[in-house]
Chains A and B, each alone.
Chain A
Amino acid sequence: MSESILELERVRLQYGPVVAVDDVSVTVGKGEFVTLLGPSGSGKTSTLRLVGGFEHPTGGTIRIAGRPVNGLPANRRDTATIFQSGALFPHKTVAENIAYGLRMRKVPAAEIARRVAEILEIVALPGFEHRYPAEMSGGQRQRVALARSLVVRPSLLLFDEPLSALDLSLKLQLRAEIKRLHAELGFSAVFVTHDQGEALSLSDRVAVMAKGRIEQIDRPDTLYNSPANEFVYTFMGESNRLDVTAAGGAIRDLQGNLLPLSLEDGLAEGAWRLYLRPSRLSLSEHEPVRSNALRCTVSMVEFLGEHFRYHLACNGLRLMCDASAKLGLAEGSEVVASWSTADMRAYR
């Protein structure tokens, strides 16, 4: 990954007083799969549109394959986008849709036919040449969209939430497909999504965005295990939040109840927000030998297929705990929830 395909250098996009993209700098190496992850309005799609040439930055520099492309329109950039809706041409057949980019690049007809057939094999849609998009399922249409972009062999593939409109099983299937294609073909890609699972599963690196800025860019495991800040931690997965105050070496909840918690570095005086993931809690009926343990009452049990989610009440605090089915705790049961200090994060 010595050679970089895409470089964004302090890129900015501003509409009047609204800053959509705020000094974003990121580099994508050759063959690298980078995901922009963020909630809606975080600037991830705007950033992608800047790279694709559908918007033009009000500041900074964009380079594709070493060449500055600021001001270059979309049709003269060596990128290809897979849109959320697929954006297939409804009046053209699958083969015509896929051939479109090649025709625009004046590729000879014989080679177009060969490459269209080849790419249909790759995306597992052989025999679909003469279908119209309306005659296909959503998943098949998205495969065609993928083929239409892949076939022109762009320097950089841009994915604009391509899986968001699909139902769950199809989404997982196509996600695996994209991962397989990336491993086989080695394309460079920028993938935009608001789905943490997609980002973690597909990417070499993930950039978490909020309010037009990149909060953290790292490998998926680093991002998940060592989030740079509170936003990244909470966005990467569900969490329990405990609002506490630290005073005189003691930690109390907002009602003033003493909480037997211990943090690695202790807490400075003042108000804190403590977080921990529901999967990191364990429940037992007896006092465990752990430093962080709270006596709770089970207030609700949700069955979520893979596990049960126990909603717990502990004085004024509310906790969620994901545990396997075996516990079989009924609502109203008294339990002790405990966790290890390393799983807890404190922000103020």
Chain B
Amino acid sequence: MTTARGRRTGEALGFWLLLAPSLLLLVLVFATTVAGVVRMSFNGWTPPSFYVEDVVLDHYVRLATDPLIREAALNTVVLALQAALTSVVLAYVMTLIVWLRPRRFRLLVIGLMLCPLLASEISIIFGWWLVLPRNGLLSYMLVGSGLVSEKINLLYTEFAAFLGLVYAILPYSFFILLSVMDRQDRLLLEASADLGASPLSTFREVVLPLTWRGVVLAFSQALIWAFGIYATPSALGPDTLWTMGQRIQEEMIGRANWPLASAIAVAMIAAIALLLVLMRTMEPKERALG
């Protein structure tokens, strides 16, 4: 007899079967490596060996006390926050344009936003090396337009690192916001205006609340990307700008201190996890939005 329970068991089995390949991949590639990193972070360190099997908290103590690491953490957080905020604001403006304007704008902006995703991070960095130096494109453009009188160098500045980061994470913010914006009914803008709301009031009362979920999502996504990207700030920023990513590389390869590098990595993963939990509380309560 095929009972309702039997059917439910069958459905559950199908569910797990379908999920199994990706779950397996995730466990193999992600969970085991993260577990390995966590284990490594508790090992001892006696140069010249990379690590010594042990269980110690030394590296976490250093994490909290080493001023160099603290500076790198601060740099990373500040840079990531700035870049994430900027990318979300820029992406919001662009999605608004795409949402409100005729279709030809839509294709143009979506095309532009896809570009950074088509090239690898490294080739984009090479691009910035052509644009940002004293004899680069941007410098010539600024002089040519009369905005500055002398050629300027922007490469290896904090601004360059910021710019590179924003460029790298902008598409993610954009597409997340667009997917949320596209689900809204544009007629609501007319209804709002019809009831006497100025465009600014309509934005504050209708557009922003309805897309706030997307803003929070895009911001957390952007922050995670900005947090984790290593090559861009290291290749475009000044030598004095140390980020957590660079710190890990330095400890891992420069000083062969694997446990400390692992402890930094674990701290970053924990920070991101904490951030995700925090962001969830910022999301509006799920209402029956039908």
Residues of A within 8 A of B (CB): 52-54, 73-76, 79-81, 83, 85, 87-91, 100-101, 104-105, 132-135, 148-149, 152
Contact = CB atoms under 8 A, between A and B. Distances in A.
B196 A152 contact: yes
B193 A90 contact: no
Contacts of A73: 193
B4 interface: no
B196 A101 contact: yes
Given A85-B187, A91-B284, 8 more contacts: A75-B195, A89-B205, A90-B290, A91-B209, A91-B287, A91-B289, A100-B192, A104-B201
B287 A87 contact: no
Of listed A53, A100, A134, residue having the most chain B CB within 10 A: A100
Contact of B287 (A52, A53, A132): A132
B141 interface: no
Contacts of B201: 104
B24 interface: no
Interface string B168-207: 0000000000000000010110111111111101000110
Contacts of B287: 91, 132, 134
A135 B288 CA distance: 7
A142 to B, nearest CB: 13
Contacts of B185: 85, 87
Q: Which 8 A-B pairs have the closest CB atoms?
A: A134-B290, A101-B195, A104-B196, A87-B191, A74-B193, A134-B288, A75-B193, A87-B187
A100 B289 contact: no
B197 A104 contact: yes
24 contacts: A53-B193, A53-B194, A54-B194, A75-B192, A75-B196, A75-B197, A75-B198, A83-B187, A85-B187, A87-B187, A87-B190, A87-B191, A89-B188, A89-B206, A90-B289, A91-B209, A101-B195, A104-B197, A132-B287, A132-B289, A133-B290, A134-B287, A134-B290, A149-B195
B290 A100 contact: no
A148 B194 CA distance: 11
Nearest to A104: B196
Interface string B201-217: 10001100110000000
Contacts of A149: 195
A148 B195 contact: yes
A76 B289 CA distance: 30
A100 B201 CA distance: 11
Interface in B61-120: none
Interface residues of B, number: 23
A80 B192 contact: no
A80 B289 contact: no
B195 A104 contact: yes
Contact residues of B: prevailing secondary structure? helix
B195 A100 contact: yes
Interface in B243-290: 284, 287-290
B195 A152 contact: yes
A131 to B, nearest CB: 10
B194 A52 contact: yes
Nearest to B290: A134
Nearest to A79: B194
B210 A74 contact: no
Contacts of B198: 75
Interface of B: 185, 187-188, 190-199, 201, 205-206, 209-210, 284, 287-290
A28 B210 CA distance: 37
A89 B196 contact: no
A156 to B, nearest CB: 12
Of listed B190, B194, B196, B210, residue having the most chain A CB within 10 A: B194
Contacts of B209: 91
A149 B210 CA distance: 22
Nearest to B198: A75
Nearest to A81: B194
A149 B197 CA distance: 13
Contact of A80 (B194, B205, B284, B288): B194
B194 A100 contact: no
B206 A74 contact: no
A134 B195 contact: no
Contacts of A80: 194-195
B210 A75 contact: no
Given A54-B190, A100-B192, A91 B197 contact: no
A90 B210 CA distance: 8
Contacts of A134: 287-290
Of listed B187, B196, B199, residue having the most chain A CB within 10 A: B196
Contacts of A76: 196
Contacts of A53: 193-194
A297 B130 CA distance: 88
Contacts of B288: 132, 134-135
A105 B197 CA distance: 8
B179 to A, nearest CB: 17
A343 B197 CA distance: 52
Of listed B188, B190, B199, B201, residue having the most chain A CB within 10 A: B190
A90 B185 CA distance: 10
Contacts of A85: 185, 187
A100 B188 contact: no
Nearest to B185: A87
Contacts of B205: 89, 100
Contacts of A132: 287-289
Contacts of A52: 190, 194
Nearest to B190: A54
B82 to A, nearest CB: 30
Nearest to A75: B193
Nearest to B210: A91
Contacts of A104: 195-197, 201
